């Protein structure tokens, strides 16, 4: 098996964060929401202001792990006619200006439909570093999983609050790039407050993971980012940025991203 040790752009970025004692910032964008032009500006801006990894989302018709914000952004993107080709095109454009690590966030079917090997090849050619399939848990499809694991793309896996300790260890050992800890039992979406036990849980995952641990789901404010940053290697912010993008456009969303970046820099990694 390949992977399991930091490699490529993602590995280099986390190594740099560790050296500098900083906490990573991982913003998510739904490609094509509210338009492809917005996505292009967003990812360029995020790279510019120091995002450590960008999660580039493929919109899906049936996002069963997502709350209202990402359901709406996904539907909006599909209504605009956004395709997987567009996602790769956005990525190619970004690569002309930036070497920020990019993880493609997707439900399995758009990947499966294209043919997993074709998808991997196209994603790598476009400049992707990893893939995070929401509905491909460890052991769901060993053959398909090993095709991703053996490819240049990192297979980023999720650990949930309901995951048992033994399985957490197995997932951490079978992940690539980083491990994504889901901050709450539920769907994605901005929240007023984070759970009190989160820091402790994230530390527990970190203690068994050879890879960096990012925490996401519900992280919405600089205050949340600081709280998460103290216990994790990186914070993932999705719905809060998507909401802001919908409300105030790219400038407003990038302003929130800059605040989040600053908040994370105030934390001792």
Partner 1 sequence: MTTPTGESGRYGPYGGRYVPETLIPALDELTDAYARAKADPSFLEEFDALSADYVGRPTPLYRARRFEAKAGVGPVYLKREDLNHTGAHKINNTVGQALLAKRMGKPRIIAETGAGQHGVATATACALFDMECVVYMGMEDVERQSLNVYRMELLGAEVRPVESGTRTLKDATNEALRDWVTNVRDTHYIIGSVVGPHPFPLIVRDFQAVIGREARRQILEVEGRLPASVVACVGGGSNAMGMFHAFVEDEEVALIGVEASGHGLGSGHSSAPLSEGRPGVLHGSLSYLLQDADGQVAPAHSIAAGLDYPGVGPEHSHLMDSGRARYVSVGDEAAERAFRELPGLEGIIPALETAHALAWVAEAGRRGEIVAPVAICLSGRGDKDVVHVSRLGGGAAP
Q: Is 138 in the site for partner 1 (CB under 8 A)?
A: yes
For the CB of residue 107, give the shortest distance to partner 1 in the complex, in Å.
8
For the CB of residue 82, give the shortest distance to partner 1 in the complex, in Å.
9
Nearer to partner 1, 6 or 218 (CB): 218
Q: Is 110 in the site for partner 1 (CB under 8 A)?
A: yes
Q: Is 259 a residue of the active site?
A: no
User: Containing H/E element for 201?
Assistant: helix 198-208
Q: Which residues pair with 179 in a beta bridge?
A: 157, 213
DSSP label at residue 103: E
HEC sequence for 213-263: EEEECCCCCHHHHHHHHCCCCEEEECHHHHHHHHHHHHHHHHHHHHHHHHH
Q: Tell me the window of 62-70, 123-131, 225-233, 258-266 that interacts with partner 1 (CB under 8 A).
A: 62-70
Q: Tell me the window of 34-42, 185-193, 197-205, 242-250 that interacts with partner 1 (CB under 8 A).
A: 185-193
CB 98 within 8 A of CB 49: no
Q: Which listed residue (14, 25, 88, 107) binds partner 1 by CB under 8 A?
A: 107
For the CB of residue 113, give the shortest distance to partner 1 in the complex, in Å.
3
HEC sequence for 134-191: CCCCCCCCHHHHHHHHCCCCEECEEECCCCCHHHHHHHHHHCCCCEEEECCCCCCCCC
Q: Is 167 in the site for partner 1 (CB under 8 A)?
A: yes
Binding characters for partner 1, 77-96, by CB under 8 A (x = yes): -x----xx------------
* Number of CB atoms found within 10 A of residue 44's CB: 19
List 52, 66, 154, 233, catalytic entry? 66
Q: Is 205 in the site for partner 1 (CB under 8 A)?
A: no
Q: What are the b/e assignments for 117-151, b being 16+ CB within 10 Å?
A: eebbebbeebbbbbbbbbebbbeeeeeebebbbeb
Q: Is 63 in the site for partner 1 (CB under 8 A)?
A: yes
Q: Is 197 in the site for partner 1 (CB under 8 A)?
A: no
Please give the backbone phi and psi of residue 135, each rounded to the nearest 5 degrees, phi first: -115, 35
Residue 40 CB partners (closer than 8 Å, separation 6+) = 90, 93, 94
Q: Is 171 in the site for partner 1 (CB under 8 A)?
A: yes
Q: Tell me the window of 19-27, 44-52, 129-137, 241-249 that interacts with partner 1 (CB under 8 A).
A: 129-137
Q: Is 66 a residue of the active site?
A: yes
Q: Is 113 in the site for partner 1 (CB under 8 A)?
A: yes
Q: Is 262 in the site for partner 1 (CB under 8 A)?
A: no
Q: How many residues bind partner 1 (CB under 8 A)?
A: 42
Measured between alpha carbons, how far is residue 194 from residues 63, 68, 220 in Å? 23, 18, 9
Q: Which listed residue (8, 137, 152, 249) binds partner 1 by CB under 8 A?
A: 137
Q: Which residues bind partner 1 (CB under 8 A)?
A: 60-67, 71, 75, 78, 83-84, 107-114, 134-138, 140-141, 157-164, 167, 171, 182, 185-187
Task: Please identify every residue annotated as catalytic.
Answer: 55, 66
């Amino acid at each position: 098996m390949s992977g399991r040790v930091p490699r490529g752009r993602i590995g280099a970025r986390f190594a740099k964060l560790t050296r500098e004692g900083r906490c990573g910032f991982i913003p998510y964008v739904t490609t094509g929401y509210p338009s492809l032009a917005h996505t292009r500006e967003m990812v360029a801006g995020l790279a510019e202001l120091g995002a450590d990894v960008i999660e580039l989302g493929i919109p899906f018709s049936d996002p069963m792990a997502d709350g209202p914000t990402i359901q709406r952004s996904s539907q909006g993107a599909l209504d605009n006619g956004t395709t997987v080709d567009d996602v790769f095109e956005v990525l190619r454009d970004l690569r002309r200006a930036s070497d920020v690590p990019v993880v493609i966030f997707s439900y399995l079917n758009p990947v499966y439909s294209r043919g997993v090997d074709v998808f991997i090849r196209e994603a790598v050619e476009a400049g992707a570093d990893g893939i995070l399939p929401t509905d491909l848990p460890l052991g769901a499809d060993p053959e398909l999983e090993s095709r991703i694991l053996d490819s240049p793309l990192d297979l980023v896996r999720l650990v949930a609050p309901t995951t048992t300790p033994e399985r957490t260890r197995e997932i951490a050992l079978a992940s690539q790039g980083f491990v994504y800890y889901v901050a709450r039992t539920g769907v994605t979406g901005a929240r007023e407050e984070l759970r009190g036990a989160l820091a402790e849980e994230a530390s527990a995952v970190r203690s068994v993971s050879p890879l960096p641990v990012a925490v996401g789901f519900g992280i919405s404010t600089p205050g949340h980012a600081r709280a998460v940053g103290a216990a994790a290697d990186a914070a993932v912010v999705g719905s809060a940025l998507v909401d802001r993008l919908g409300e105030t456009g790219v400038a407003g969303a990038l302003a929130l991203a800059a605040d989040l970046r600053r908040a994370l820099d105030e934390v001792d990694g």
